[in-house]
Structure 1
Amino acid sequence: MRRLMLLLLVALGGLWLVSYFFPQIERIEVSGNVHYSASEIMALADVAPGDPLLWVNTWRLRRLAEDPWIGRVRVIRHLPDTLSIKVWERTPAIVEGNTVMAIDGTVLPNVPEETKANLVVLSGWGPSRRDEALELVALLEGFAPEVISYSPGGFDVRHARGWLYTPSIDLLKEHWGAFVSQQGGQVSVYPWGVSALP
């Protein structure tokens, strides 16, 4: 029995050692990347041609998975020699001062100035309403919001079709049908309904 265990351990050790040298990565396919280049994704993933294919694991990819630009990552090994890395990058959605955020609130570093110029601008005073503003951006996506200003009293939103005032997101959702039925102009949402001016 002891001999069998020793033989099994030696065999497993041999397989482990062989897996370090074969199969090796000869080709790396990167997809889904926009902000980062393929070589930057490979550097963040800490993989390169010649690395052992079977040794690519979540521990090794942690730097890539923890990067703020990366929302999700999936790695597939294609035997005998190909590694596929699929990433889902976060997209800049809103800028507040010099801080750029994705729609999930993740702060994104190193955003090009030309990208910042096309984002929804957030400003305001009083307690921060950043999370609500991000939810508002997602809700109003079809209206192309441009500027959101907040205060303790509510939100003023300039969008491609006009202007909106709402005290809260919940009230806007409650009166969504009435808001959508208005075609442009200035729309104000109140607890009792919606008013509109051309």
Structure 2
Amino acid sequence: MIVRLLLILLGVATLGVASRVLLPTEEVSVTGNRHLSEAEIRERTGLKPGTPWLWAWPYKLKALQSDPWVKQVRLERPKAGKLRIVLAERQPVATLVRGDQRQGLAADGTFLPGAPLVKPVLEGVGVVPVRDLLVLIQTFPQVQKISFNPAGYSLEWEGVRVWGPNIMELQRWAQGSRMSASTQTVTSTATGTLMVSVYSWGVSQRQ
């Protein structure tokens, strides 16, 4: 019985060594990456040419799954000796600026460190109202800058600055301004910028 057990263990050990020598990984390809480089992905997963192909399991992707830039990742084996890492990366839809620090904001509310500058620029004080900001970005696709504080939100784009106490009033104004723009009152000033203040009782504008 002991001899048989030893033979089984020896066979398993031999198979393990053989899998490393006889079937190494010949190629590791990466698709879907834009922010993360292929070299960085291979380094973080440990999946490189020469590593045992049979020992390449999805747990190797844990380092990528915890990265905020990575929305989804999977490991494929298109053929013997070849591995393919398939990523779906998050992309910034805005840029949050706090002091001298800057990071991207993805559509699902994830913050992305090291992101390139993407407008609108988000600035403000206090807790970042992520959900509200994402709603405003969707409601006003032309917006270039959004400022926030406990009193409300200020939105800016070419020739226009709009302030509102909450996203509900701003959404109502956005819908109403498209439907009945002729009912708005405009006063000219030297700035040439249309200044809009949205309240629950109505709209104040000056230009």
Scaled by the length of structure 2, the TM-score of the pair is: 0.70
Verify the 8 A CA contact 2:109 2:134 in the aligned structure 1.
no
Larger radius of gyration: 2
In structure 2, the CA distance between the partners of 1:87 and 1:10, relative to structure 1 (3 Å rule), is: same
Say yes or no: does 1:26 pair with 2:26: yes
2:157 aligns to what? 159
1: CA distance, partners of 2:56 / 2:180: 54
In structure 2, the CA distance between the partners of 1:137 and 1:44, relative to structure 1 (3 Å rule), is: farther
Q: CA deviation at 1:196?
A: 5.9
Greater Cα shift, 10-19 or 157-166 = 10-19
Render the CA deviation track for 1:38-90: whole Å, top value 9, x for unaligned.
21221122210111223222322111221222222122111112211122222
Verify the 8 A CA contact 2:156 2:162 in the aligned structure 1.
yes
2: CA distance, partners of 1:121 / 1:74: 33
1:149 aligns to what? 147
Verify the 8 A CA contact 2:144 2:156 in the aligned structure 1.
yes
Verify the 8 A CA contact 1:133 1:148 in the aligned structure 2.
no
Greater Cα shift, 168-177 or 47-56 = 168-177
Verify the 8 A CA contact 2:24 2:53 in the aligned structure 1.
yes
**Unmatched 5+ stretches in structure 1:** none
Q: CA deviation at 1:28?
A: 1.7
Verify the 8 A CA contact 1:166 1:189 in the aligned structure 2.
yes
Scaled by the length of structure 1, the TM-score of the pair is: 0.73
Identity %: 29
Render the CA deviation track for 1:104-159: whole Å, top value 9, x for unaligned.
34333334xxx33x43322223x32331453145414632x221111222100112
AA at the equivalent of 1:110? G
1:95 aligns to what? 96
2:168 aligns to what? 170
Verify the 8 A CA contact 1:76 1:85 in the aligned structure 2.
yes
Render the CA deviation track for 1:143-179: whole Å, top value 9, x for unaligned.
2x22111122210011247332232223334555224
AA at the equivalent of 2:138? L
Pairs aligned (count): 192
2:199 corresponds to which of 190, 193, 197: 190
AA at the equivalent of 1:163? R
Map residues 1-198 of structure 1 onto 2, 5 A cutoff: 18-92=18-92, 93-97=94-98, 98-103=101-106, 104-111=108-115, 115-116=116-117, 118-125=118-125, 127-136=126-135, 138-140=137-139, 142-143=141-142, 145-160=143-158, 162-174=160-172, 176-181=174-179, 185-192=194-201
1: CA distance, partners of 2:5 / 2:159: 74
Q: CA RMSD for the aligned pairs? A: 3.6
Verify the 8 A CA contact 1:155 1:166 in the aligned structure 2.
yes
Q: CA deviation at 1:194?
A: 5.7
AA at the equivalent of 1:107? F
